[in-house]
Structures are given as structure tokens and as C-alpha cells.
Structure 1
Amino acid sequence: MTKICPNCGKDIKKDAKFCPFCGYKFKDNPKSSVPIAHEDSQPSHQAAAVSQMPKQEMKREYKNKTPQKPMSKKNKIIYSVIGVLVILLICFYAWGSNYYNRDNQISRIVSSLKNPNQSGAQYISCDNPEVKITTESVKPLQRYFQDHTTEADQLITDFRVGNESGNVRLAQTGRYFLLFPKYTAQVTSVTPKLVTNHANSEVKIGKKSLGRLTKSGSSYVKTIPAMLPGKYNFSIKSNVEGRNLTATSTNNVWSSNNINLDIHTETLEIKSVPNGIVYINDKKVGTLNSGGNLVLKDYPITKNMTLYVQGTFNKKTLTSKKISDLDHDLEYGDEDNVVTQSGSKYVIKPEWKGLVTDDEATRVLTSAFDKGSLDEDDFVDGGGNDSYGELTRMFKTYDDEDDLRTYESDVKIKSITPNGNNSSLVTYTVTWTFEHDDYNRHQVVEYTNAILTKDDNSAKIKQIGSGKLIKDHKVSTSNDSDDD
């Protein structure tokens, strides 16, 4: 005996609880595969249709239906991995479209050009295939733009509008991941010539030796192989009148013109801060003594010579203003008298930002320690300055002494050193003379760690420093003997 499955129309055993073809579950103890309507209820249209449908027609209707098997675990994993990869690719493309955007690449290129501490090789290309682009070969270009940030920032505008800026232009030189355009700062190479006035001269660019120069007319010449433009340090060794001399020169090289490395010598006396270190062309050449002096005898002078002093003050390392064209100042002088000639030598006094002069410090401190001249305008923050309040209270104390007739002060500057932040650290003494009814008193107070700032070429007091009594001498105006 068989029955017909109402789901797929197949013939199955009459007592089967499940259809072996489609998995349909029958009700318990069914009398027929077709639901039987109760006498008091109306048969559904579906039941009526099934009951009236011939057996062969039901088989034809369901013979093309294939049972759906559940997806295997392996296929689920494969489809899941594919789905994740598709999502990752979409996210990567969205990220790459932003990161490798033309404007964003320009910003990274220019930022790298201004930072010699960053490897910039990936952002630079050259029109000359003979020039190798490496981390070291692009540093001179980076050093130049570090000193000329305004020019570097102008590159952003030029690159975006498609302008060529001197030897540098924006170029598309490939693609990232075959999807995103790659842009670099394409630089025109230069092949300058080094020229000197001495035979047997050996020249170096940085630490790399270029060999000896060869005679050409009355000069000696060496053509440098093609290289990127930028800021270069050249050094030359020559034998002058039996003495071996080494000269250095820092040059911004942007063309293939000659670079003059002629050598002559001068005696230089540098005067600055005690124990400061003197640098010429970024190379340490000596240390100032405790008096702030250093003499360099017969020092070789070259074109584009630079000089500055570096010192440590209150655990802070500070650098003086750089003299950027010392050879010019030696020959023609300078408006600020930083370089002056004294007999057969040149005296050089590098300036420090915010460093006040002895005269400026003497004037403002003398005024501060004189009640009649005390002016809040001589103090940082005016009348709200703590030192201004301290001096005001001090003068009031003196005025309140009944037997004190007069008092006066005399300020002497002992030392002035840079303090950073446009300020100076000053040590000075104040000698007081107090006239009492029957005696005079002389006191010397030494002040340390006083801070003066520079404001429109005048000094202002930030703090008068800490005072320490170093001398106290009492002189009797009666017939009594002196008391110390």
C-alpha cells in the first residue's frame, strides 16, 4: 500500500512518517496523505484540489522539484572569506583614494623636503638617470629647504597649479599598488665646478673625497659629477707656504656655475660667553676661555663662511645668531659692528637673541635701585611685577627708619649671559651708602639669577634676582672708632 506525499507528489509507503524524497513530516497516524475534512467543516481549496487531482498529474507537477540540501560547512567558510576580502578591498581602495590623493601627496613631499631628519628618497626623483636617489643624496636638498621654509611652502602652491619652481617640479613617476598615481618632486641635476687658487688642493664634498683639482689657466678646477641641488659643505686641503691648511665652505648650489674655494688667512679673535663653543661652517673650531675669548691665528677664510657660538646656561643649550657671510664682513665690515678690525686681527662678537648690553643692564638696574627713578615701565608686567613690589617695600622700610638721613646706590654689572626666550641672565652688585645720624654704613649686595628681557632695543626687568650681602662696613661719624 502506498500514499502520495502532499508536498512533492511522490509515492511513498503508507506507514511512512517522513517523505524520503522531500523530508515532509506526516501527522501521527494519518489515515491518508491528504488531510480529511470533518463532516461539519468545509474542505479547504487546497485539500479539495489535491483530492480531486489524478495521481499521474500530481507526479508530473512535482517531478521537476529537487530537494534543497543545506550548504556544506566548507562552502560557508569559502563564501565568508570571499565576503571579508571584498569588504577589505573596498575599505583599502577608499583609504588609498584619500591617502594617495594628489594634494595629500604634495603635502607629504613638501613636509619631507623641510626635514633632513626624515628619509626623503621616496618623494624625490631626478631628470638625470645618472643621479642615484638615496637617503643621503637628498639631504642637501632637505637642508636647503629647512633654511628656506618660505620657498618650500611656495612649492605647495606651484605643484597644485602645475607651475615649475626653479629646478623643482611635480611629476607622476609611477603608481602605488597599480591603482593610485605616484607623485614626486622631480629635480633638475647640476654639475658645478670647484675652483681654487692653490695647487695640490684636495677637495671633499661632505665626507666624500673628489680627489685633487687640476690646473686650468691660473686656477685649479674640479668638475663635480651630476648631483641634486641643495646646501653642501665643501672642504679643501692645501699646502700654503709650507703650512697645511684646511678650509671649509657652505654653499647653496642651484646651478652648474663655478664655486670659488680660494684660500686666504686672517687672525680672528672671538669674544662671547665664557666656555662657549665656536663653530665655523658648522664645524667646531675651538672653545672660549672663562673670559669668553678665543684667538684663531692665520685661520683660512673662504667664501660664504659662517660662524656662531653655542653655550649651556642653566642646563639649556643656546646658540648665538649666525654670522652668515663672515668673509664679506671681514672685507667690508658690517652695520652692527659685530665684526671689527683691531690692528692685524679681526674681533668678532656674535649677537645673542634677547641678550642685553652692559649699558642697557646698567641703566635699567640703576634706575630700579634709585627711589627717585624707580619706574614700573622698566618692569615686565609693570606695577604687577613681584620685583617692582619688592623694591617699593624696601624703599618704604628705609624711609621709615628715623635715624636714616639719606641713602644711595651704585650698580656694577659682573656678567651677562643668554637665557633663552629673548632674555638675559645677569649677575651684578649694588653698593649701598646709608647716612645715619652718627655713622655711615656701606653695604655690598651681590644679585644672581636676575632676568632682563629685550624689548624694542631697551631692557626690562623680569626679576631682580636673589641678593646676598657680601660686605658690610660701618663708619662712625663721631670720635668713636670704625666698626666692621
Structure 2
Amino acid sequence: MRNLNKRLAPANDQPSGGANRFCQNCGYPVAPTDVICPQCGYHLVADKRTVTHQATGQRQQFELSHSRAAWSKRKKLTWLSSGLVIIILGGGLLWGSQYYSRTATLNRAIANTQRGRRLTDYYTSSSTDLRLNKQKLLPIYRYYHHHPKALTTLQRDLLIRGISHDNHFRYGVSGHRWLVFPNYQIIVKPIYPKITTNLAGNQIKLDDRSLGTAERDDDIKSLGALVPGEYQLTVNGTVRGHQLSNSGQYYITSNRTYNLPLTTISTTLQTVPASAIYLNGQKVGTADTSGHFELNDEPWSSDMAVYARYTSSEGMANSKTIHLKKSDDQSTVDINYPNQISHSEADSLVSRLIMCMDQISNGTDINDVTDSQNTALADYFTNGRDNAAYNQIVKMTQDYSDDDDIESVSYDSSLKQVVPGPNGSSLVTYSIEYRFNLEDYAHVQTYQYTATMTPTGNDTTFGYQFSKITNGQKTNDEHESFDE
């Protein structure tokens, strides 16, 4: 019988040729190159493919898992970055929608107009005839800087109606900011004024820019496309051998023709003494103690305007503006302050005050004190019995009444001066002579006061009230002996 039990080879007799392999069927060691197991005849090639396939599958599975892990990290970073971008964009949109809103932009535009800053950011022209820059926008700043109330009116008109009352300015969208936000701007409608002068050869200037010379008498020149605002118009020339200049500040708001001839006018201006006199916006002098000021050989123009300004410790007051006519030459022109109390009205109010003071100091109850027209003392003061000056007068005169050493008191008033105060008020300076009759002599003192009087708007009784009264300044103090 054939011996089927084949002896295993020693370890050093194992088949060579690479890493040891074993038959998957019987476990016999086989060489890497064997196709058939020499022990049991098992086909080793199929097994090799299976092992190779398994190894390859394991490697692919690892690479796929590794790729998924790497992709997951990139995905997280991408989502995180996208989230941050969305937050930043959202915050920017929210901020921009507020900053570039209609109201916020207008507020900045008005504030910068008052300061004369960044005007080109907030103004644009409605016409290609007018290309705006910082220099061309200065007249807008000059006017509204000196007229803040007009700027407030402009802001209100643009916010509510979207257009100014004179139709020179419109508020609307002009393009976009950052391609997203509406670019609100004040859109200026240009004006096309002209200037004329009477003599050929006269030199014409707009602000600091020369417009050339008049080529003939009564020549008319265009000032170009301008923004509405405050300008300096100047014409220089020679008249009868004298160098003359007709210059002034003009608020130019229309397409009209401005006439600046070189001819002269002489006139006397009558106003409040010590008032500063302004001609076409420029101070030319001060009224004398009689309130007179002489304009001598001043260049006349159809827009020649004068006004007076009075400055006191209470503030500043401006008179009405008077436009001089050529017929005013060699005449007197009155310059009055609005709402100023007349001398006769002021003297009447002070006299009525004295009448009431006399009643109190001689024992009349304050509730029964009235003037000759049956008007209570408190009615002569703003805020009535709450007025500080009213209470000081009542206390003072009641103290005189309660003083046993004073047998009687009499008063005598004298009006000194009436000048304009701020906001339509009047400053009335008057003196009161106090005569205190004592037992053996009379003590006579004189004090000077300045009262601020304001209009009441009530023409049926009296048109003014005492707003406040300064502390008295003593101007005289003497004693008079009684004759025995």
C-alpha cells in the first residue's frame, strides 16, 4: 500500500521565495509561486486573488474613510466662514440702512451746511450747466451760516415735502452707496443771474473772480450758472475823475439782473444814537449822540440797503432794512427798530408805576392799588405777581409804609433814554427821585434804573410790560432842612 503520510520538512527545508504561505485547505506550507498545494492539491491561485482583493478592499475602505474625515473638516470650516460672512454682511446692511437712511443723511447734510464741511458729499446739481465743487458751494454755506433759522426751515421743507419753498433745492436719491444703499442728496437747481453797470470800462467781479469789463454803457454780463446763495458783487471804475467802487453782499436766488452803476448818493440817516450803521452788509460807521449818520457820495445801486444795529449789555438788536432810492439823495431817511417803544409810551408806563408805588408807601393795601385807568400794578409786569421786579417794588414801598421814622414819601420820575433790546424788547432808562419826609428834614435821593420792556400784543390797554428792572444806581443824595 502507498504511504500517504508524508513527513514534514524541517524548518530550514521550508520552501523559499518570499514570505511563507499556508494552504487554506490543509495548512501545509507552500511557496509564493505555488499554484497547487503539494499536500492536498488545493488550487492556491483563487485564494491569492481573494486575499489580494480583500487587501485592496481594506486599503480602499481606509482611503475612503480618511477622505470623508478630511472632507468633513473642510465642510465645517466652509460653513463657519460662510456664517461669519453672513453675520458681517447682515450687520453691515443693518448699520448702512440706518446711516444712509433718508432722515439721517439729511441731518448730516444740514449740519455740514452750517459748518461748511464736505458739501460735495451732500449736494449735486440738477443740470450739467453747473458742476459743483467746494468753491462753487461756498455761497450756500455763507448764507445759511448767517441765517440759521432759514437753514432750519430748509431742513423742515426737505424732510416733509422733499423740496424747498422756493423750489431751489430738492431732496432725493442720486445713485447708490456701495451698490446697495440709496444715495440721498440735496439736488440744486441752478440760477442764471446777470449784472449790469452804467459805464463802459467798469470792471466787474463776482466774489474774487473777474468777469471782465463792461464793453459799452449799460452793458449786461451773465454771471453764469450759480447755486442760490450769498455772493459779493463788485464794480470798479472812474466817475468824474474819482475812483469809485460799488460793492455789496447779495443773496442771489433768481435769474434777475443786478444793477451796480457807478453814481453817488448823499443822505442823512436818522436812528437810535450809538447804533452801528451797515450799508449793503458792511459797517460804515456809528450814529452820533443825536442819532445822525451822514452818507456822503456813496456809490448808489438799485439794491442799496442800509440797516442799524444796537448792542447793549442785554444783547443785540437789528433795525428794519431800508432800501435807498435815487430820490433819497440829499434827504433824511429814518431807520427804525421793530417793536421799539416810543418815548411817550415809555414815559407813561413809568409814571403809572410811580403812581402805584406812591399808593403802597402811603398805606394803601396792595390788592387795592391801581393806576388812573384802574389797572392793577401786577398787570404791568410779565408773569404778574411772580415777576421778581414786581415783588421787589412791593416790598420796598411797604417797608417805607411800615417805617415809623418816615412821615411821608413822594416820588418824581424822569425818562432818560429809550434804546432797542434783543428780540423786539426795549431798554428804558429812567430816574426816580425819592423824597423821604422825616421829622426835622427831608432826605432826598435819586436812583437811575434800566427796565426791559416787552410788547404784549394787547392794544386795548397798553402795549408793553416790564420784564425786568436793574438795581438802582444812586446819582444823588442830599438832605433838606425844613424852614421853622
TM beyond 0.5: yes
Equivalent residue of 2:238, what SS? strand
Alignment of 1:256-271 (within 5 A): 256-262=255-261, 263-271=263-271
1:384: which partner in 2?
386
Which residue of structure 2 lines up, in the alignment, with residue 359 of structure 1? 344
Q: Which residue of 2 aligns with 1:429?
A: 431
| Secondary structure, counterpart of 1:396 in structure 2 | helix
In the alignment, what sits opposite 2:222? Answer: 223
| Structure 2 CA distance for partners of 1:221 and 1:85, relative to 1, 3 Å | same
Aligned counterpart, 2:318:
320
Could you list the runs of 4 or more consecutive aligned residues of structure 1 that deviate by over 6 angstroms after TM superposition?
A: 56-59, 70-82
Q: Which residue of 1 aligns with 2:477?
A: 472
Aligned to 1:344: 330
Sequence identity, in percent?
Answer: 24
Q: Structure 1's 346 and 244: CA in aligned 2 closer, same or farther, altered over 3 A?
A: farther
Question: Could you list the runs of 5+ residues in structure 2 that have no partner in the other structure?
Answer: 1-50, 360-370
User: Matches of 2:157 and 2:99 in 1, distance apart?
Assistant: 22
Deviation at 1:283, TM superposition (A): 1.8
Q: Aligned pair in 2 of structure 1 residues 366, 225: CA closer, same or farther (>3 Å)?
A: same
Distance change (3 Å), C-alpha of 1:379 and 1:247:
same
Q: 1:225 to 1:401 in 2, by over 3 A?
A: closer
Whole-Å Cα distance in 2 between the matches of residues 139 and 344 of structure 1? 38
> Which of these residues, 146, 151, 156, is aligned with residue 153 of structure 1?
156
Secondary structure of the residue that 1:122 maps to in structure 2? helix
Q: Residue in 1 aligned with 2:99?
A: 99
Does the 8 Å contact 1:249/1:302 carry over to 2?
no
Q: Structure 1's 403 and 165: CA in aligned 2 closer, same or farther, altered over 3 A?
A: closer
Q: Which has the higher strand share?
A: 1
Aligned-pair distance for 1:321?
3.8
- After superposition, where does 1:6-45 map in structure 2 within 5 Å? none
Paired residues for 1:144-293 under 5 Å? 146=147, 147=150, 150=153, 153-159=156-162, 166-169=167-170, 172-215=173-216, 219-262=218-261, 263-272=263-272, 274=274, 276-289=275-288, 293=292
For the Cα contact (< 8 Å) 2:433–2:447, is it kept in 1? yes
Question: Partner amino acid for 1:206?
Answer: D
Asked if the contact 1:107/1:156 (under 8 Å) is kept, the reply is no
Q: Distance in 2 between matches of 1:98 and 1:403?
A: 75
CA distance in 2, matches of 1:74, 1:295: 90
Query: Over aligned residues, Cα RMSD in angstroms?
Result: 4.2
Give SS of 1:185's match.
strand
TM-score, normalised by the number of residues in structure 2? 0.68
> Shift of residue 90 of structure 1?
2.3
Q: Residue 87 and residue 326 in structure 1: after superposition, are their counterparts in 2 closer, same or farther (change >3 A)?
A: same
CA contact (8 A) 1:320 1:350 kept: no
Preserved CA contact (<8 Å) 1:268 1:299: no
Q: Does 1:140 align with 2:139?
A: yes
In structure 1, stretches of 5+ residues that fail to align are 1-53, 332-340, 480-484
Q: Deviations over 1:332-377 (max 9, x none)?
A: xxxxxxxxx8x93324434166x54433332222222222437111
| 1:369 matches 2:367 | no
5 Å-filtered alignment, 1:398-477, equals 398-400=400-402, 406-420=408-422, 422-435=424-437, 439-447=441-449, 449-456=450-457, 458-477=463-482
Deviations 1:5-42 (A, max 9, x none): xxxxxxxxxxxxxxxxxxxxxxxxxxxxxxxxxxxxxx
Give the Cα–Cα distance (whole angstroms) in 1 for the partners of residues 394 and 473 of structure 2: 19
TM-score, scaled to structure 1: 0.68
Give the aligned residue type for 2:467.
K
